[in-house]
Structure 1
């Protein structure tokens, strides 16, 4: 029997809400559209809508976005319950979390057995410095139904070393929640996610944030996708499935992991192996690396 993993990207739209309960209802409605998925990925800063619970939110500076960390306990409780109820693994986007050293942009992976796994973004986007967020210092992979997954949050997908490390640790599927304020930003992450799929011969689930909210919050340009390497056994452009543009949407796709393993072995471009084949060459010029 072949190894498969059904994944979904739940492309949520940030909307003005008057309570945590109203936001949670929107999340549940979107999750209802992914019943066949074993792993569901939501977008980066999925909780940013909670900033709008304050009726005066338009008068606040963006630096006050860290206010949403006050909802961390409710956020964790919601997704812990939903993962168990739906028998799914839910990468619940990211959320700003207060730590002794400041705030971190943290991806939470909730499991059906009550698992709550965290990954703090290791490379913040320059604009995130305006929110007084720090950076995490750990990378990890997780096994879901005999498939190894890694998490790369938005800008992390633009840093090849992050995904190279996750792949070296065994990742076969990269989960990439993102939030980009412009179409250019979206394509930067999307093209980099596609490059990571090609160079590491992995699948990538890219799930961006949709937003049409006004300042101080930023717009979100989005078109979620599930990506593969570009080779004869996959779509020529590497796009397995794609969401509608800048609308709340959910897409689902069954990944064939045995096909991926075979592609790593016999594909037209065996980059997963060949990237390390000339390590001796790269080490000659290591003093030139950043």
Structure 2
């Protein structure tokens, strides 16, 4: 299948029609190139805050609530587009106030299928900014999505920097991990990119990275954005020697495409030069280290 992953710029929209037109064009472009799975980034939905006006869009709390208020409309739009084009879409993510999960926002990405199903994944581990400045909370648990394309897991940005989250998904059957991200500097982007590549190596699976790019100075939450879209796999049999199936230019908006055959995941796990996935249990747990040696000058 062909995967399209977005390096997505955040634009100001004066009205809903402007936002709807942008999403419609982006989905149509990728579907027109034959993509079966489209991946948008974390906090890609923050441009919805512009619909509430400049004052609301500028504030951290007010912009988040503005996005959450529009979330049902955005879900309905992406669902219609997924059905119309016969594609799976991980939509632009954002803050959602979900009464079932408490009185603070969660960081959510929604997954849309060609049959109209809408599912979602919430971020598990908050960054310091999300936790200390935004008072954002972890949402629902990790989920495995068993789709017509394959078994898919979603690790939102910082989550991909924690190996045990990816391990839980791949042990449950995930062959494909989607990593939507939002990072304001090269340091943050590098951490997510390195994490995504490491998760592909450790779990011998395909990892798709979609970042926000460019400036959105009208919104404190996402004022600066650095990244490059990419698709990674393990550097072994059936995959490129570098592990990079496709990678866009840094901070260049647009789709990046990769042709992916998930049967290669089963092959590399069984026949690879190394077998990281099955060798995972061979790691020596810290609790079994017999003695800690402390050397002092």
TM-score after normalising by structure 1: 0.91
Give the conservation status (yes or no) of the 8 Å contact 2:123–2:139. Answer: yes
1:218 maps to 2:223: yes
**Residues of 1 paired with 2:212 and 2:23: CA distance?**
13
Give the conservation status (yes or no) of the 8 Å contact 1:10–1:31. Answer: no
Q: Which residue of 2 aligns with 1:77?
A: 76
TM-score after normalising by structure 2: 0.89
| Distance change in 2, residues 1:58/1:213 (3 Å) | farther
Q: How is 1:52-201 mapped onto 2 (pairs within 5 angstroms)? A: 52-57=50-55, 60-67=58-65, 68-100=67-99, 101=102, 102-129=104-131, 130-145=133-148, 147-201=150-204
Q: Which residue of 1 aligns with 2:252?
A: 247
Aligned residue pairs, count:
282
1:247 positional shift: 2.4
Structure 1 gaps of 5+ residues are none
Q: How is 1:8-47 mapped onto 2 (pairs within 5 angstroms)? A: 8-35=4-31, 36-47=34-45
Give the conservation status (yes or no) of the 8 Å contact 2:84–2:114. Answer: yes
Q: Which residue of 1 aligns with 2:49?
A: 51
1:47 positional shift: 1.0
Once the two structures are overlaid, the 10-residue window that deviates more, 32-41 or 47-56, is: 47-56
- 1:134-165 per-residue CA deviation (whole Å, 9 max, x = no partner) reads 10241111122261111100000011111010
SS in 1 for 2:278: helix
Question: Which of residues 282, 285, 288 is equivalent to 1:282?
Answer: 285
Once the two structures are overlaid, the 10-residue window that deviates more, 15-24 or 167-176, is: 15-24
1:99 positional shift: 1.6
1:176 positional shift: 0.8
Structure 2 gaps of 5+ residues are 292-297
- 1:19-40 per-residue CA deviation (whole Å, 9 max, x = no partner) reads 2221221122111221211111
Give the conservation status (yes or no) of the 8 Å contact 1:174–1:204. Answer: yes
**Residues of 1 paired with 2:61 and 2:265: CA distance?**
43
SS in 2 for 1:256: coil
SS in 2 for 1:184: helix
Q: Answer 1 or 2: higher relative contact order, Cα 8 Å, separation at least 6.
A: 1
Once the two structures are overlaid, the 10-residue window that deviates more, 138-147 or 121-130, is: 138-147
Moved runs in structure 1, 4+ residues, more than 4 A? none
Q: Which residue of 2 aligns with 1:273?
A: 278
Give the conservation status (yes or no) of the 8 Å contact 2:57–2:63. Answer: no
- 1:193-249 per-residue CA deviation (whole Å, 9 max, x = no partner) reads 000000000000100011312152421112000101012432222111112321221
Question: Which of residues 229, 238, 247 is equivalent to 2:243?
Answer: 238
Q: Which residue of 2 aligns with 1:228?
A: 233
SS in 2 for 1:171: coil
**Residues of 2 paired with 1:254 and 1:8: CA distance?**
9
1:65 positional shift: 2.5
**Residues of 2 paired with 1:165 and 1:38: CA distance?**
25
**Residues of 2 paired with 1:174 and 1:43: CA distance?**
13
1:250 positional shift: 0.5
Question: Which of residues 260, 264, 273 is equivalent to 2:269?
Answer: 264
SS in 2 for 1:209: strand
**Residues of 1 paired with 2:127 and 2:193: CA distance?**
15
